[in-house]
Structure 1
Amino acid sequence: MNNSNTSTEPSRWRLSVAPMIDWTDKHCRYFHRLLTSGTRLYTEMVTTGALLHGDERRHLRHDQLEHPVALQLGGSEPADLARCAQIGARWGYDEINLNCGCPSERVQRGAFGACLMAEPRLVADGVKAMLDAVDVPVTVKHRIGIDREESYGFVRDFVGMVSDAGCRVFIVHARNAWLKGLSPKENREIPPLRYELVYQLKRDFPQLTIVLNGGVTSDEQIEQHLRQVDGVMLGREAYHRPWMMTAWDARFLGGAPCALTPDEVEQRMVDYMRREAVEDGTPWSAIARHMLGLHHGRRGARLWRQVWSDHKLKHLPPEQVHALARAHLGAVVPEPLAI
């Protein structure tokens, strides 16, 4: 196929929100897109088995507002990855990303995630199979090492072999993945961050797009990293403090800042809740959980969150819950827009 991975466009990956299991579902991504038009969004990881033998619509349904949006796959069998990449492209995803970074033991039992870093040839074969199957970019998200393997040569050789197969975009979590003895949460906190290794990858592979992930919590840190690499990916910080994203288009992406106020964003989400209830039978509580950080720092935000989290109110329509929640809010905007 005439594959779009033959040229690199770093700006397309300049800022992104990480794929996070149980968090970055379609409702979360819709909410985030109201805050930033240019930031790249990622699905939760979808395993090849779930996609090939399960409900495609449940896993892949998304709103047109979400673009640019990438599908992250978990798997290791090249033929299965190719078939799933085709399915994802058919559903309109802008990118197919292969997970080589998740350290959980459940993922390891499926022989994918971070443990794939020990098998770069298999990863390269999977990437090549996907590139041959689709016309959208195929990318890889991985760690800088696994277990106690801390040499730069390990991640350098991994990137080298996979890039030889045609991958041009690497999203690098700047920590090792410890495959035994640590929970996924501990794997995000205990292995030390080593940003210099990610910077070195960019120096050694200037023709590739290198995106840094891990431990980034502020716009100032984003700015610092962008002096060394092509892009930065944030995860939990963006999820818990989503209003920070409203400045990104203007500050980093050459666009305009978010024109909506927090109150207007909340109203858009209530409208979305009503639509999803009609179209798919989705309860408003499955959507509201993703916007609980919207009024972070605002007077009354804690009580506002309590209302939207109150399962005793699930029988009420979302507009009534909205009215109850808003009664607790003060008039202060949570974070001034820094441009």
Structure 2
Amino acid sequence: MNRKDENSDIINNYGDFRLSVAPMMDWTDRHCRYFHRLLSSRTLLYTEMVTAPALVRGGALHLLDHSTQEHPVALQLGGSDPQELAQAAILGEQAGYDEVNLNCGCPSDRVQSGTFGAVLMREPGRVADCVSAMREVVDVDVTVKCRIGVDEQDPTEVLPDFLEQIRASGCRRVIIHARKAWLQGLSPKENRDIPSLDYALVHQMKAAFPDLHISVNGGITSLTQARAMLDAGLDGVMIGRAAYHHPAEILADADRLIFQTGQTVDPFEVVRKMVPYVERHLASGGRLHQITRHMLGLFAGRPGARSWRRMLSEGAVRKDAGPMIMLQALESVLSAAQEDAAV
């Protein structure tokens, strides 16, 4: 199967990748993505990282489960063996994902021991081989998410070489987390905030590689910041924790402000639209809190937000919890909003 050299078909169907929500372990599961899709129809969503060995050797195909409503949605893979990644990419394409992304940025001990994630910043040749192997067997876009370097590396030397090699392998889209990863001495949590961000270097890479579609990731907490990055010449912006903890603030206005399509989405209506999804999940044996844990920040900064979080946190874990818990919590927010408006 020959890989398409251009991603024009995907762009025509799903927009220009100007905004995406970062892949986040334990957070961006299928329930989170369904919820986020109701807030924005255009933002590109990513799975949690799925390891190629889990799919190919472990047969854990349930990790690929997702709903058709999530599109556009990308599968992020972890791995370092080209042929195994190629097999995993085939499985991802067969499952219906719109993109396969290679993780070259996660700094956790788990990925280091498996020789993938941020440690691959030391092996751009291997990354290029992995990209080539995947592109040879799938038609969906193959992309890379990376850091600007690791440990003692000089990002001004390492990053250009890394991008040059993956570009030569056929990669045309890359997401750059604009900070180093310290594989020794810092925890994965600390690596989200230390060392400092270097947005200027990412802009320099866009100038040096104008043919690459470059998105920036790291420390972006508002659509205003995202717009500024785009206006300054970057092709895309990926937002992580802010989109998760403040989903309405980031995603409800994304289609209008970032993609210039649609209207601001009403978060109250989103809750109501989640009810059928919740009912299907419960009917299949699932639990309410598996969904609502991703919705706790929906009304962050608004009257009633504390009541919303409390009612969901306490009520959704009960064995008999159903969508009524969610609707009752919504009523508390509506009441708080009405009281605030009357003041």
Question: TM-score, normalization: structure 1?
Answer: 0.93
The 1:149–1:28 alpha-carbon spacing in structure 2 relative to 1, beyond 3 Å, is: same
Name whichever of 143-152 and 180-189 sits farther off. Answer: 143-152
Q: Does 1:267 align with 2:267?
A: no
Q: Which residue of the other structure, out of 204, 220, 240, is the alignment partner of 2:208?
A: 204
Q: 1:321 Cα shift? A: 1.2
Stretches of structure 2 that go unaligned for 5 or more consecutive residues are 339-343
Q: 1:168 Cα shift? A: 0.5
Q: 1:228 Cα shift? A: 2.2
Query: Partner letter of residue 257 of structure 1?
Result: Q
| Cross-structure match for 1:254 | 260
| Cross-structure match for 2:113 | 109
Q: Does 1:118 align with 2:150?
A: no
After superposing on structure 2, the runs of 4+ consecutive aligned residues of structure 1 that deviate more than 3 Å are: 5-11, 53-57
Residues 276-297 of structure 1, C-alpha deviation per residue, up to 9 Å, x if partnerless?
122x321111000001111112
Q: 1:212 Cα shift? A: 0.4
Q: 1:56 Cα shift? A: 3.9
| Cross-structure match for 2:87 | 83
| Cross-structure match for 1:53 | 57
| Cross-structure match for 1:276 | 281
| Cross-structure match for 1:162 | 166
Aligned residues of 1:150 and 1:176 also touching (Cα < 8 A): no
The 1:322–1:204 alpha-carbon spacing in structure 2 relative to 1, beyond 3 Å, is: same
Query: Partner letter of residue 272 of structure 1?
Result: Y
| Cross-structure match for 1:240 | 245
SS in 2 for 1:146: coil
Aligned residues of 2:278 and 2:323 also touching (Cα < 8 A): no
| Cross-structure match for 2:194 | 190
Q: 1:299 Cα shift? A: 1.8
Q: 1:300 Cα shift? A: 2.0
Query: Partner letter of residue 255 of structure 2?
Result: D
The 1:223–1:283 alpha-carbon spacing in structure 2 relative to 1, beyond 3 Å, is: same
Q: Which residue of the other structure, out of 137, 144, 164, is the alignment partner of 1:140?
A: 144
Aligned residues of 2:148 and 2:179 also touching (Cα < 8 A): yes
Q: 1:51 Cα shift? A: 1.0
Query: Partner letter of residue 148 of structure 1?
Result: E
Q: 1:327 Cα shift? A: 4.4
Residues 220-276 of structure 1, C-alpha deviation per residue, up to 9 Å, x if partnerless?
2111111221000000001011012111111111310244x2222112222211111
Aligned residues of 2:85 and 2:133 also touching (Cα < 8 A): yes
Aligned residues of 1:299 and 1:332 also touching (Cα < 8 A): yes
Residues 301-338 of structure 1, C-alpha deviation per residue, up to 9 Å, x if partnerless?
112211111167522342331244234323539xxxxx
SS in 2 for 1:308: helix
The 1:241–1:142 alpha-carbon spacing in structure 2 relative to 1, beyond 3 Å, is: same
Name whichever of 237-246 and 89-98 sits farther off. Answer: 237-246
SS in 2 for 1:272: helix
Q: What is the distance in 2 between the residues matched to 1:178 and 1:184? A: 9
The 1:6–1:320 alpha-carbon spacing in structure 2 relative to 1, beyond 3 Å, is: closer
Q: Report the aligned-residue RMSD.
A: 1.7
The 1:53–1:282 alpha-carbon spacing in structure 2 relative to 1, beyond 3 Å, is: farther
Q: Which residue of the other structure, out of 64, 71, 82, is the alignment partner of 1:67?
A: 71
Aligned residues of 1:147 and 1:178 also touching (Cα < 8 A): yes
Q: What is the distance in 2 between the residues matched to 1:235 and 1:328? A: 28
Aligned residues of 2:2 and 2:137 also touching (Cα < 8 A): no
Residues 143-172 of structure 1, C-alpha deviation per residue, up to 9 Å, x if partnerless?
001112234121000010111010000100
Q: Percent identity?
A: 50
Q: What is the distance in 2 between the residues matched to 1:302 and 1:121? A: 50
Aligned residues: 331
| Cross-structure match for 2:341 | none
SS in 2 for 1:207: coil
SS in 1 for 2:253: helix
| Cross-structure match for 2:6 | 6
Question: TM-score, normalization: structure 2?
Answer: 0.92
Q: What is the distance in 2 between the residues matched to 1:313 and 1:29? A: 20
The 1:255–1:277 alpha-carbon spacing in structure 2 relative to 1, beyond 3 Å, is: same
The 1:79–1:263 alpha-carbon spacing in structure 2 relative to 1, beyond 3 Å, is: same
Stretches of structure 1 that go unaligned for 5 or more consecutive residues are 334-339
